[in-house]
Amino acid sequence: MYYSLNHNAPKSTFEHAVRKGLAPDKGLYFPEKISPLNPDFFNQIDDLSAAEIAFEAISQFIGNEIPTTELKRIIQETLNFDFPVVAIEESISTLELFHGPTMAFKDVGARFMARCLGYFNAQNNKEITVLVATSGDTGGAVANGFLGVKGVNVVILYPSGKVSQVQEKQLTTLGQNITALEVDGTFDDCQDMVKKAFLDDELTAQIDLTSANSINVARWLPQMFYFMLAYKQLKSLKKSIVFSVPSGNFGNICAGMVAQQLGFPFEHFIASNNANDVVTRYLATEQYSPKRSIQTISNAMDVGNPSNFVRIQALYNNDFDRLKSNLSGYRFSDENTAQAIDSIYKTSGYIADPHGAVGYLGCKAYLKHNPNTHTVFLETAHPTKFLDVVQPIIPKPIALPPQIQQVMSRPKQAIFIENYNAFKTHLLHS
């Protein structure tokens, strides 16, 4: 069962939490308990497939609401691409999360949620509208994951001029049950519109709404899978494993912490921030002060008020000292990020995207004081999704992979909106 982190709503089943996104009191849903996995699981992990590891991890959060055979099918279809760990330099590796259909880490959560919702809708003729705000990669992953799913309409809000060309193409060119709304504003404006829609009684009386942002438990929880798959690849090093996570809305790092609570022996987490550093400032001051997002070259992290941080606080029972013992935060500028892309390439030949580069910088900063650990930064998207940033730094042409090539020639289809009223009008009359 799931409860609301605003503590003023009834407990919820997994299906209800997936369908509604937010609780009636507008709080995020959170599992009642997280039970550590059996020690035998970790002893046998070398012999388990990715799908078997994921099934053992996610089962307790779904219970009997999805039959075992169906859940295994959902997981198999979600994890049908690789998650390799690549050595960069001594004590630093990267976990590549861009081998899915939209070449971003969000493919995992989007595909898992779409298939769960597809299962729940199989015997249901009532339509549901999935709302998603995107700072870049979420939109494309959700659009691809939900394309053609029965009874589901997807509406994606993205900030005009603040996503890369590839990202925009991925979320505006699919058609069918996918609609893209180009918003005159920032990601935070998009996210605020989605949250306001859930609070709008007139709207929710006429349309069944849910969210495909990481506020939705079915989008958020499966992100723990790839931390586990990285552990399987790295455990033979016999060194403490520390993850450096390029952090925007904080669902990714929170999912890694859930894996840790399941028993995965992760030593520590690093929240690697760009100029949008609300959590880094919180860890330094114990004052949580959201601010308007700042546009950077690592745009998917341009979040001024990360929704999932309240879940991280819940994991630690709002104990600041416990949280700080497991989480470090660092802030890096665009100049630092560009220099890191250049440095990584010159020393290893590896081409990092701007978000991975921020994660790499977090590794470097942490290793200065913790040299006996092995750090892993998450390479959250393929560098060709940010060619305008990466190509001027890399001296050789970067080839577009097939997943990117196929969307670039498609015509953009987006509706420009300026404010919430325009958004609401679109939902009511489309």
Query: What is the average pLDDT across 250-275?
Result: 97
The pLDDT confidence band at residue 243, using thresholds 50, 70 and 90, is very high
Query: What is the average pLDDT across 50-59?
Result: 97
Backbone region of residue 286 per phi and psi (left: phi > 0; alpha: psi in -120 to 50; beta: other values) = left
Q: Tell me: pLDDT of 125 over 80.
A: no
Query: What is the average pLDDT across 401-411?
Result: 86
- What are the tokens at 206? 């006429």
Q: Give dist(CA 42, CA 65) in Å, integer.
A: 26
pLDDT for residue 63: 94
Longest dimension (CA), the chain: 59
Residues 6+ positions from 394 with CB-CB distance below 8 Å: 341, 345, 351
Query: What is the average pLDDT across 132-139?
Result: 82
pLDDT for residue 140: 85
pLDDT for residue 337: 97
Query: What is the average pLDDT across 108-136?
Result: 87
Query: What is the average pLDDT across 91-117?
Result: 93
For the question of residue 106 being annotated catalytic, the response is yes
Query: What is the average pLDDT across 423-429?
Result: 93
Say if residues 130 and 216 touch (Cβ distance below 8 Å). Answer: no
Residue 103 CA to chain centroid, in angstroms? 13
Query: What is the average pLDDT across 79-102?
Result: 95
- What are the tokens at 270? 């690093």
DSSP assignment string, 67-81: -HHHHHHHHHHHT-S
Query: What is the average pLDDT across 231-237?
Result: 94
pLDDT for residue 242: 98
252-266, 290-304, 313-327 — which is least confidently predicted? 290-304
Q: At residue 162, what is the residue type?
A: K
E strand or H helix at 211: strand 209-211
DSSP assignment string, 347-394: HH-----HHHHHHHHHHHHHHTT-TTEEEEEEE-B-GGGGHHHHTTTS
The residue written with tokens 């039970």 in the block is 35
The pLDDT confidence band at residue 165, using thresholds 50, 70 and 90, is confident
The residue written with tokens 């995207």 in the block is 353
Query: What is the average pLDDT across 339-358?
Result: 97
Query: What is the average pLDDT across 380-388?
Result: 91
Query: What is the average pLDDT across 367-396?
Result: 94
- Residue 52, class by beta-carbon neighbours within 10 Å (0-12 exposed, 13-18 middle, 19+ buried)? middle
Q: Tell me: pLDDT of 153 over 80.
A: yes
DSSP assignment string, 104-123: BTHHHHHHHHHHHHHHHHTT
pLDDT for residue 262: 98
Q: Tell me: pLDDT of 154 over 90.
A: yes
Q: Pairing mode, if any, of strands 128-133 and 178-183? A: unpaired
Residues 6+ positions from 346 with CB-CB distance below 8 Å: none
The pLDDT confidence band at residue 207, using thresholds 50, 70 and 90, is very high
E strand or H helix at 287: none
CATH class of the region 82-104+220-399: alpha beta
pLDDT for residue 77: 95
| Residue extents of the structural domains in the chain | 82-104+220-399
pLDDT for residue 212: 84
pLDDT for residue 164: 84
Please provide the average confidence, as pLDDT, over all residues in the chain: 93
The pLDDT confidence band at residue 175, using thresholds 50, 70 and 90, is confident
Q: Pairing mode, if any, of strands 152-159 and 327-331? A: unpaired
Q: Tell me: pLDDT of 198 over 90.
A: no
The pLDDT confidence band at residue 129, using thresholds 50, 70 and 90, is very high
Q: Give dist(CA 262, CA 231) in Å, integer.
A: 13
Q: Tell me: pLDDT of 123 over 80.
A: no
E strand or H helix at 343: helix 334-348
Given the residues 11, 20, 72, 106, select the one marked as catalytic. 106
DSSP assignment string, 132-179: EE-SSHHHHHHHHHHTT-TTEEEEEEEETTSS-HHHHHHHHS--TTEE
Note the pLDDT tens digit of each residue in 9-40.
999 999 999 988 889 998 999 999 999 999 99
Mutual orientation of helices 137-146 and 106-121 as an angle, nearest 10°?
30
Say if residues 139 and 170 touch (Cβ distance below 8 Å). Answer: yes
Percent of the chain with pLDDT over 90: 74
Note the pLDDT tens digit of each residue in 277-303.
999 999 999 999 998 888 899 988 988
pLDDT for residue 178: 93
